[in-house]
Structure 1
């Protein structure tokens, strides 16, 4: 399946200049022939158009590049889906497998914190799987859990293809002990195209499995405060819908201290809506919920995939000190009471004791007289 027809968002001119798909209409005739961004195979530009425009439901197709007929990407090319899938599987420590149909199945443990790497992960500058181009993923310590590391690689690969649905259809996810795979489009949403997830949550339908959202960071709040948040590139609402923000929030600001505007992130967990702020958000509580990486400004290739540093265990909360008998009695005497409130047991006990004291004799109230 190396000769797939997935759309590409980057190419090179005959002079080696990087060109984006949205710039196709601005290309001069002397910029052709165009070649792939990561190998020398010939490609051609396709402008924005509508598929099935004469039918009842036309579909908008964004500008992209495609292979010339009969051509294939080089084996080491970042756009070579077959090689990318095999590279991800090799570095997944058994959590990802490629079947005979060329689809990759990723196993997501019920508790990713228990899915610690079985052996040391590659250090900074060491290859994490694959050959050449964007296939050389590297990691830095603390080690990224294998499932999260593989999901981040898949998200990066799909971003190169403009999140082509045909490319996303080659990935499946198994969560926990479930036997029915989850389509990638229902597990991971691009932040800029997460209106489907927003509509799902607005309808009160919470997925039974963790959901991942990936995109680029737009803004990070002050991480020295008790709470912090990171805003991703705004999502495009559905036609007629209200715009909303996609944010990562946490009461452990150290989880966001390594993020910078422009960084790519992938966050996994249970997402929710905050209607008052038109916000779709995820509360982060552990370092294995977040992976982030940067891209080289010259080549567009990812640098390293990393997780935030693991959080230290929270100190145990001090137990409240027991009150002494004298302090308890004093608090009971000064506690405000409303009319008709029965006295405390201690007050009843002291009143009963007073009946035996000679200097405070107890006198019952007089009985009513009968006329």
Structure 2
């Protein structure tokens, strides 16, 4: 298994380690997922996300390449802006979802999911018809996600950059914890606020220890991938491989807002997705809360009141914040309205649930 710059630290802290996307990653620490989840909701926690992939797209053809391969309109980005987008495939599905950073006028960084890194890189290389300069720097960049309402307070102790002047989905580059060329990005996958920081792997341990020293007074804790999943699910954020896949379209997944049909955008299956937008989709991704006791899991069937199967759960958990079962799944469009009563089929039992509008966690 691959290691991150922090693998030895996780092990020394007693983390439960497990293979994820080819990396040896911490799933939870000794306090457990619920405590870690609530630490992020109420305070501040640190995730090792160095397994994520980073690709540079450079040169005078960089923008054209990104317009031809991603769903969102990259031309709208100014230097310092970040955009959520996806790679549509040739069948209207999603190869991966990702972030695009406009680092310089002719230099962009793509941050892709670890599990899709090789697939994404092959797709980029195969579809580089315009001669953009591509560089896979995934092994040369470390990443930590510092999340929670106290994250900014902790991180501000370690940099002269005014973090309050970095709006959501923008970034700045500068010195952090005595290390140069650190990207400070106001993004995250938790809905609790905070920053994601990118740095050279050799600076990783220095940065980790500086953050934990700076956050001691705020009760900072390391957080594993288990709580990362429950946090994103409470927000209704999609997880690739569960809620979005090669077989689901961005319009079915409620990602029409990142699917732009602007002039000059020629991404694969554009015509197919334009037709979907005009005619509507047959299935839609919904979020739900259980009214009966139980825990929904991926692949559980979803039924209507008459017992007809109308869809399938894609993600589910017991919400640490709400203390009830929550989840996401695809249902037939006619059953997708917020407030609709649905049933999750759990080992032959029908558990009542209600379709809700994310986020499920009170902000």
Structure label with greater radius of gyration: 1
TM-score of the pair, normalised by structure 2: 0.25
Which has the bigger relative contact order, CA under 8 A and spacing at least 6? Answer: 2
Of Structure 1 and Structure 2, the greater strand share is in: 2
